Amino acid sequence: RQGLVVMISGRGSNLLALAEACRSGRIPARIDAVICDRPGAAGLERAAELGLDRVLIDRQRHASRADFEDSLGAALDGLAPRYIILAGFMRVLSADFVDARPGRMINIHPSLLPRHRGLETHRRALEAGDREHGASVHFVTPALDGGPVISQARLDIRPGDTPDTLADRLLPLEHQLLVRTTALLMTRTVELRDGCIHVDNQALEHPLDL
Ligand code: GAR
């Protein structure tokens, strides 16, 4: 199984980076489908322009999270991807849903985890007086933004930075990080054993600096 499914809620710039890397061969995989939970998402347009299969699973048209996850699970089971990549997917998934796909879902998060889980990470990094900020790619576990971190990219916070300037400087690093991490997952043996990441059977002591 060399297929990827990318799940999005919004703009889709990380999706675009992944799609370009799959096309150029930097990531030896193909994107089998893009799943989106929001009908108006700009990322859906991008997916269409890229000629990718799109699956809209509109959260608003499902009465409950359980119903929504039933639809999502059915779509994913049909596609049977090697990895499910959350690239700006803004919904919290239940423990049952996540536990049914151990070591097969990854998420990109705009902070240096374990700092700043959740939303508004740029503002919170500034308010905390952090000198460094960044992005992390982690395995998804039931703990929100709390799964084992595979890789990180860092940047220095400068005087005068605002949430917007930080977001702008971080975005290209996110794209690079997600592409490099996905390439690693497709070319090396990366396993999650007892909550610990192993790369080619070697336990990972620290997140990779990618
Ligand atoms: C990215 O910055 C990603 O790290 C963040 O959403 C943005 C999506 O941008 N993800 C989260 O905050 C997850 N909680 P994109 O749609 O242009 O890829």
pLDDT on residue 2 = 85
Residues comprising the binding site for (6R)-10-formyltetrahydrofolate?
A: 65, 107
Question: Nearest-CA neighbor of 136 among 111, 168, 171, 173?
Answer: 111
* Block residue for tokens 């803004």: 90
pLDDT on residue 35 = 98
What pTM value is reported for the model? 0.97
Residues comprising the binding site?
A: 12-14, 65, 107
ipTM value of the model? 0.99
Round to whole Å and give the CA distance between 206 and 59: 36
- Helix, strand, coil % over all residues of the chain, rounded to 5: 35, 25, 40
118 CA distance to ligand 1 centroid (A)?
11
pLDDT on residue 139 = 98
Output the CA torsion 173→175→176→180 (10° steps). Answer: 140
pLDDT on residue 1 = 59
> For residue 165, how many C-alpha atoms fall within 13 Å in the half-sphere facing its CB?
9
pLDDT on residue 127 = 98
pLDDT tens-place string over residues 57-110? 999 999 999 999 999 999 999 999 999 999 999 999 999 999 999 999 999 999
Ligand 1 in reach of 134 Cβ (< 6 A): no
Residue ranges of the chain with per-residue pLDDT less than 70: 1
On whether the CB atoms of residues 205 and 197 are closer than 8 A, the answer is no
3-state secondary structure labels for all residues of 122-187: HHHHHHCCCCEEEEEEEECCCCCCCCCEEEEEEEECCCCCCHHHHHHHHHHHHHHHHHHHHHHHHH
